[in-house]
Structure 1
Amino acid sequence: MFTPLKDLPRGKNWTLDELNERKVQLLIPVIIFISTAMVVGTVGNALVLYVNIFFLKLRNSTHRHFIVFLALADITFCMIGDPFMIGVLTHPYKFTNIIACKSIRAFTYCNAMISVLVLFVIALDRYRRICRPNGNQFSVKRINVIFGIIAFISLIISIPCFMLYGKNTVQTGIANITGISCFPDDIYINTMFPFAYNMFLHSIFIILTVSMCLFYILIWRQVRKHANSTQMLNISYTIEPNTSTSTAERNVTETNIERTIPQTKYTVLDDLTTDKDLGRGINTESKENILSSQSVNAKSIHVSKTLFVVTAFFVLSFAPFLSLEVITFIDQELIESLDNTSIVFYQLLWRSFAINFVVNPFIYGVMDRRFRLQCRKLLLKSHI
């Protein structure tokens, strides 16, 4: 929501163009922030898509599909949503393209809804794999169907934007001069429609966020339980056969392993580990199942940590925006009373969600070893 300019020199005959230019100068830090997010986010998410689709094992990995879906949502926002925000910021009192206003506002809400729903499904998928490993898991085919359903639901939820947004008269700071910007249409100013729609969206966000928190709490408890169980086992064995160890000693060791560890078989569709990765020292099917299940669990736990961090940054980046949305609808006069410095700070916080569309490639670079190594290879090739 835009606020009128403060501390304007009196006694000057201002024009709308002059007031628009003065407001743009005030908002330069916000424009720089969004422009930087647009460039960095576009490049970073393009790299995520390129590496995951062409170099990593996408076909058999559901979590790679989730990463691709999120990257698609992020890069489309960086390429469409960020330029729109820059357009609004550079035309604070002169944004008269109503069709663009309605369309891109709907796109923005649809994009954000896709992101939060995908993150919810990610949390559910992680919960099933860590806490219910013996149950039916999401397959790649089912994940693709779910993503289609998510896109359809998000589109339906964003339809009211075509009615709500339009020509909004904004105060410039000069009593006899008003501007036009892309906010709820003037015909809805004194109605409950804007507030009700935003509260509806906020409720969805809060419900999904609380659900994701519960899923990750249960995952954390299961991981702690798994770690404690592993420590209590205290097993000592060598995966690669040692030529200096007698056959009888190896048989005793393997027998102890079989008696100590419950022979549990997990069915997990992603985070696959090959027999070669596990070693060749234990040859029976039961012991391979034991080692395979532990290896898969370890990798699933690490993947869950990565996707939890992605979810946490999403929630944190949207929290200031959603909070200011509520404050704005509850007390518009408080927002309009801000001085020029506070206006800039307010506008930055109001667009804090732009961070979400930039940060994920950096999270993968820190926490995803395969992604990091592949990016390093690409960087080295580019310098050859």
Structure 2
Amino acid sequence: MENITVSEWNNIISESLIPNIVILTIYVILGTCGNVLVLLVYSFQMKESSDERYFIPILAAFDMIATIYCGIFMIIQSLYQVIFTHNILCKTAQFFIGFTTYIPVLLLLIIAIQRYMKLCRPLKPAMPLHVKRTTLILAIVISFLGALPLPYIYGSIPFHSITYGSIGRRCGKVKEGHRLVRAIYAIVIGVFAVALVTALIVLYSKIGCTVYRKLKMNRSKSSEVEFRNSVSKTDEDGVSGSEYSDGTQNTLDSKISNSNIVKIDKNCKEQQLEKKQQTTTSQPVGSTKRRKDNRSLTHKLTVMFFVITLVFIFSYLPKVILLLVEGLDKDFWENVSNTERPGWMFLYQIFVINNIVNPFIYAFMDIKFRKEATVFLKRFFQCTF
């Protein structure tokens, strides 16, 4: 094939990536609208949210920032595949991509620790507010430090085409220079990723075992209560039957003894009523129901956060694999054909789903959020139209 200009080559690649650009645009729209809705609902409808939901609006805010920034930059990158000549812009963009994506990931770890403390160590005090704020600041600081080496690893690099005989420039991993920095960073990030996923699996495994054990105990307790109620009912029926037979046999007893029996029965009933009232006072029905509701809410939110964590793992897995492939084969993207490129780019960019899907999980699994979001949207559309 005859030689073509870099601009023509870039047009060919950009046209092949139109499906990716459309998908990224959908990512940005869904992620922005969904996370903005979460923030608005928690700001206006769920102002006095419980301790269980403390990190949800914070996670939504950082998810929204990551979706907008990463989505728009990757659209620009798709349009300027081989004509990305601005080195400083590439380095700065990669730094902020790392910074904005690391924070939600660390927040998921903090949430997992909070769920573990809540369910597996109920006798110990829950995570206080100042600790939550401290962990949030730590997550931001660690993300900032983790993103600092990225400008040394990424930059505007030469991009060769054997097919078209052209040389362009793209924003990618630097092939020469700073080898020690790149090697150390790759090892640290690899160890951190393995440790993070392992910690999440261990924490949620322990949480799952605890929840299963508690559900099993509650079922056994409820079956015991049902059995006791049936036994007590049987005993009462037996007592009333014996009283009836004794009464028929002693029909010739005097009226005085009958009146004494009536008095004794009245006294017994009064004592039973007093005991029942005392029991009701000591264990109010409302507080018992509230405890059950709180327990149910804790379990449901734990399952919800577990699903969010699973989505995070599966959405980041393709990118991690591709980053490993890039490390082993420096010319990987140069050897990819125009027909293969959209598929590989889709896998490379699918991590953004982690920042998009959370509002939909809330709407599906959090009944209270779904109700409050419905009320908010009805009010919004009534005021607008």
Calculate the TM-score normalised by the size of structure 1.
0.81
Residue deviations 1:179-234 (CA, integer Å, cap 9, x gap)? 11111235338x35434423321321220111111111111111111111111112
Question: Structure 1 305/14 Cα, relative in aligned 2: closer, same or farther at 3 Å?
Answer: same
Task: Mark the structure with the bigger radius of gyration.
Answer: 2
- Which residue of 302, 309, 314 maps to 1:311? 309
Pick which of 302-311 and 63-72 moved more: 63-72
- Pick closer, same or farther for the CA change 1:251–1:187 going to 2, 3 Å: farther
**Hey, what does 2:192 align to over in structure 1?**
204
2:34 paired with 1:44 = yes
| Secondary structure, counterpart of 2:156 in structure 1 | strand
| Match status 1:111 vs 2:109 | no
Equivalent residue letter for 2:295: N
Report the more deviating stretch, 305-314 or 107-116.
107-116
Structure 1, unpaired ranges of 5+: 1-9, 238-245, 259-281
Match of 1:167 in 2: 156
TM-align CA RMSD: 2.6
Distance change >3 Å, CA 29–CA 247, structure 1 → 2: farther
Distance 1:319 1:133 in 2: 33
Correspondence for 1:151: 140
- Aligned equivalent of 1:125, options 97, 105, 114: 114
Structure 2 gap segments, 5+ residues each: 229-268
Residue 222 in 1 paired to residue 210 in 2?
yes
Give, in whole Å, the separation in 1 of the partners of 2:74 and 2:332. 23
Change (3 A) 1:106 1:334: closer
Partner of 2:15: 25
The SS at the match of 1:107 is helix
- Aligned residue for 1:261? none
Shift in Å at residue 297 of structure 1? 2.1
Instruction: Label 1:347 to 1:157 Cα distance change in 2 as closer, same or farther (>3 A).
Output: same
CA distance in 2, matches of 1:334, 1:249: 83
Superposition deviation, residue 142 in structure 1? 2.0
The DSSP-based 3-state class of the residue aligned with 2:46 is coil
More helix as a share of residues: 2
Separation of aligned partners in 2, 1:327 and 1:100: 25
Q: TM-score, normalised by structure 2?
A: 0.81
Give the paired residue count. Answer: 340
SS at match of 2:172: strand
Question: 1:32 corresponds to which letter in structure 2?
Answer: V
Alignment of 1:1-384 (within 5 A): 10-11=1-2, 13-58=3-48, 61-174=50-163, 176-188=165-177, 191-234=179-222, 235=225, 282-284=280-282, 292-332=290-330, 336-384=334-382
- 1:80-139 CA distance string (max 9 Å, x none): 221111111100011122222112211111222211211111111101111101112112
* Residues 285 and 125 of structure 1, relative CA distance in 2, 3 Å threshold: same
Q: Check conservation: 1:65, 1:140, Cα contact below 8 A.
A: no
Matched AA of 2:200: M
Alpha-carbon distance in 2 for matches of 1:247, 1:168: 91
Identity of aligned residues (%): 24
Q: Is the 8 A contact 1:164 1:185 kept in 2?
A: yes
Distance (Å, rounded) in 2 between the aligned partners of 1:250 and 1:195: 78
